[in-house]
Structure 1
Amino acid sequence: MSQRQTSGDNSTNYQVAGDLHTGLSYRDVKEIADDVFHQNFTRLATEAASTAEERARAICDKFLEKLSNESPESLNNARNPDFQRALFRVQEEFATTGDEDLGDLLVDMLVDRSKQAGGSFRQVVLNEALKTAPRLTSAQVTVLGAIFMARYVNVNANSIPLLHATLRKFWLPLVKGLSQPSDANMGHLAYAGCGSISLGVVTFTQLFLERYPGLLTLGFEEDQYPWISEFKDKGIVMRCLRDPAKLQIAAVSQADLENKLSTIDVGEHANELQQLLKANPISGEAIHAEIESLDPEFKNFAETWENSAMKSFDLTSVGIAIAHAHCRRVLGSAMPSVDIWLS
């Protein structure tokens, strides 16, 4: 078959028989990864070297398959030295340890990192997280995941049964089998840059009262607030979920109420409505009893939370990145993108 092309100055000719691909392919990136690993990894004895290379190839394949499925256009970032350094770091750690849990955690963070634009805040954070995660034990990573879910993730629930279902679906897998971390373990998490131990305390009951005040209230008597009747037909007031003889604000959270109030004129009653949302909550003992009745693991988590520094631990961006990767590994696609928390 004879083919002829002509072109002008400073142009590029392409001549193909099938599809045209101008970016890096899966095979191209794999070859780059192999080259980077061989050029940088410390030479070991024959048997150890063979094991290291096998692990490096395995973790690279797992990463490239995941990245190809989620963001194939990001394969072109393999030309970037920062990308190559991050990939080598993952290969090096897994080649050395062979820890499958750590490998999966690093792959998830590396995929997220590979999607980010060069020099972005998220990329910087995820680069740091890739360096930090290997310095943690699997138990410490589990603690980060539990703190992240308990303190930083808001899952919508507009009814009491849905709240219970949400806790079983999202919280239970992350707190199951959680062991109480020692002060030394929490101190190491702080030393590693995953968070800080503050003077403030978030109790077990506050975890729920701050998120779902509208699902944990005993309501109020209508005659206590004569002016409340004008909001009955505006979707702001409803029968109390826990005591139908009373009323309550028709919102689950503060943000939910603010969205509703933004659509109507409530005059001088805005602050009072917001206060009523959180008024007359069920007791702390009742919250413990209700949550712990869902599964024995919640009782263990409540005791672990109250008796450790977890209740005072504030996550950094690096801690959030590691915790999110752990949560996504446990919960799968139910876990939203890390971009929500690293903006």
Structure 2
Amino acid sequence: MAEGSGWKWRKTSKRQRAGKNSQQIQGERIEYHVHNHTGLSMEDAIDLYARLSRADAQRYTEAAFTKIDQRVDEFLVNYFERQSSVDPDGLSSLEDPFMQRSLRDAQIEFATSGSEDLGQVLVDLLVQLSNRERSSLSAIALRDAIQIVPKLKQEHLNTLSVIVALRCTIYNAWNSFHEMYGSLSETVAPLANEYSDGGLGYRHMQGLGLGWFGMSEGEVSAMFLARYPGLFTKGINFGDIPTDIANKVRIIPALRDERKVQLAITSQGSVDAHVEEGNFTDEQGRRISAIIRTNLMSELEVKEEFERRVPAMRSLLHAWRHTSNMHEFDLTSTGFAIGHANLQAKSKAPVPLNVYIPQ
């Protein structure tokens, strides 16, 4: 399944009716996917799955029912479009009662709220759920997430997403600090203006079963220095690299000073992976780790560079340990599911959900 990036909610002001303009409104590709996987036109599919929530909506006043009815259609349009663009095969899961119930619950939550932010996260949770085995841990977590996410504010959603992106994801593929800052600008910066800053929001999330207070990861600068030392070394002299290591690992001009050199391995995770694969002995792994940690920038230098290269993160970096609990809040499977879905909706999820929760 292709991983998406931030996407725009499509506001619909009237019921989507079949007619000669139907495919122009929905798009031929989306109409094809819906028909191919459900046997229905886009319009008929919206009408059919709107019935899932209509019985619940009948309990409301006539004025409220009108709003709910319109919002249900709006939610379905966005869901079908998103599902068709990300994972068309997932549309077949709508024949499953488990998926139908999840869709009904998501429709009602959006219909009673009308929040586009909530709608986006619910849609992405459904898209993720559509290709999961119903008895898997990830399906259970996603199902719980659909029921819990309406109880969260946007600051809670962004907090979960920042924790997923900064603390819980290891970026071994970063080969330069330019790639690192480009990635952070795509994933974290769009969320950095609204997050839980204080204990009450974290206790609320803990009470909902999204996480708990664990061990502190320290400052972001210290965490990144430990994980990606090769991106922050100022380089070493060629003669400082032992011959046996030079024969094992590619040597490149130092990323921060071309007058010096460094090993091409930039992260501790890459060193560990090479040791596990048998490419390095344990002893070689320890020596390589020591080499890539030589002549590092200071924590203060890293922090100042972060603020300069990704200005949107400045307040978040200050709040990380001083006024928030992001540095010590560990996530449950449901917390991962919600944080990942909000990343998909608002910015860009760096890796698939099954990296965090087994599928």
Q: TM-score surpassing 0.5?
A: yes
- 1:242 has 2:256 as partner: yes
**Structure-2 separation of matches of 1:293 and 1:222:** 31
What amino acid sits opposite 1:290 in the alignment?
E
Cα displacement (A) at 1:22: 8.8
Can you list the C-alpha shifts for 1:15-44, whole angstroms capped at 9, x where unaligned? xxxxx9795434564344222212234511
Which protein has greater RCO, CA pairs closer than 8 Å, 6+ apart? 2
| 3-state SS in 2 of match to 1:319 | helix
| 3-state SS in 2 of match to 1:201 | coil
Q: How does 1:30-109 map to 2 (within 5 A)?
A: 30-41=46-57, 43-109=59-125
Cα RMSD after superposing both structures = 2.7
- 1:110 has 2:126 as partner: yes
The answer to which of 323-332 and 104-113 deviates more is 323-332
- 1:326 has 2:342 as partner: yes
**Structure-2 separation of matches of 1:164 and 1:278:** 20
Can you list the C-alpha shifts for 1:40-92, whole angstroms capped at 9, x where unaligned? 34511111111111111211221122223333333332232211211111111
Equivalent in the alignment of 2:201 = 185
Q: How does 1:116-155 map to 2 (within 5 A)?
A: 116-155=132-171
Can you list the C-alpha shifts for 1:202-253, whole angstroms capped at 9, x where unaligned? 322133123311111244556666xx03433443444443345655333111
Equivalent in the alignment of 1:253 = 267
What amino acid sits opposite 2:307 in the alignment?
E
Q: Does the CA contact (< 8 Å) of 1:232 and 1:238 recur in 2?
A: no
What amino acid sits opposite 1:62 in the alignment?
N
**Structure-1 separation of matches of 2:240 and 2:174:** 28
Query: Structure 2: where are the runs of 5+ without partners?
Result: 1-34
Equivalent in the alignment of 2:312 = 297
Cα displacement (A) at 1:123: 1.2
| 3-state SS in 2 of match to 1:210 | helix
Query: For the structure 1 residues 27 and 132, does the alpha-carbon distance in structure 2 shift closer, same or farther, using more than 3 Å as the test?
Result: same
Query: For the structure 1 residues 269 and 81, does the alpha-carbon distance in structure 2 shift closer, same or farther, using more than 3 Å as the test?
Result: closer
What amino acid sits opposite 2:264 in the alignment?
A
**Structure-2 separation of matches of 1:119 and 1:84:** 16
The answer to which of 215-224 and 288-297 deviates more is 215-224
Q: Does the CA contact (< 8 Å) of 2:154 and 2:194 recur in 1?
A: no
Out of 178, 184, 187, which is 1:170 matched to?
187
Q: Does the CA contact (< 8 Å) of 1:249 and 1:277 recur in 2?
A: yes
- 1:287 has 2:302 as partner: yes
Query: For the structure 1 residues 45 and 270, does the alpha-carbon distance in structure 2 shift closer, same or farther, using more than 3 Å as the test?
Result: closer
Equivalent in the alignment of 1:309 = 325
- What is the identity percentage for the equivalent residue pairs of Structure 1 and Structure 2? 26
**Structure-1 separation of matches of 2:145 and 2:77:** 21
- 1:340 has 2:334 as partner: no
**Structure-1 separation of matches of 2:55 and 2:166:** 43
What amino acid sits opposite 2:59 in the alignment?
R
What amino acid sits opposite 2:125 in the alignment?
M
The answer to which of 269-278 and 42-51 deviates more is 269-278
Q: Does the CA contact (< 8 Å) of 1:179 and 1:304 recur in 2?
A: no
**Structure-2 separation of matches of 1:321 and 1:56:** 23
Normalized against structure 1, the TM-score is what? 0.83
Query: For the structure 1 residues 60 and 134, does the alpha-carbon distance in structure 2 shift closer, same or farther, using more than 3 Å as the test?
Result: same
Query: For the structure 1 residues 336 and 273, does the alpha-carbon distance in structure 2 shift closer, same or farther, using more than 3 Å as the test?
Result: closer
**Structure-2 separation of matches of 1:326 and 1:85:** 21
Query: For the structure 1 residues 329 and 223, does the alpha-carbon distance in structure 2 shift closer, same or farther, using more than 3 Å as the test?
Result: same
What amino acid sits opposite 1:68 in the alignment?
S
Can you list the C-alpha shifts for 1:144-169, whole angstroms capped at 9, x where unaligned? 11121111233432123332323323
**Which structure has the greater CA radius of gyration?**
1
**Structure-1 separation of matches of 2:325 and 2:208:** 16
Query: For the structure 1 residues 180 and 119, does the alpha-carbon distance in structure 2 shift closer, same or farther, using more than 3 Å as the test?
Result: closer
What amino acid sits opposite 1:277 in the alignment?
I
Normalized against structure 2, the TM-score is what? 0.79
Can you list the C-alpha shifts for 1:94-147, whole angstroms capped at 9, x where unaligned? 111111110111011111112222322221111011011001011111111112
Equivalent in the alignment of 2:232 = 216
- 1:159 has 2:173 as partner: no
Query: For the structure 1 residues 24 and 211, does the alpha-carbon distance in structure 2 shift closer, same or farther, using more than 3 Å as the test?
Result: farther
Q: Does the CA contact (< 8 Å) of 1:24 and 1:75 recur in 2?
A: no
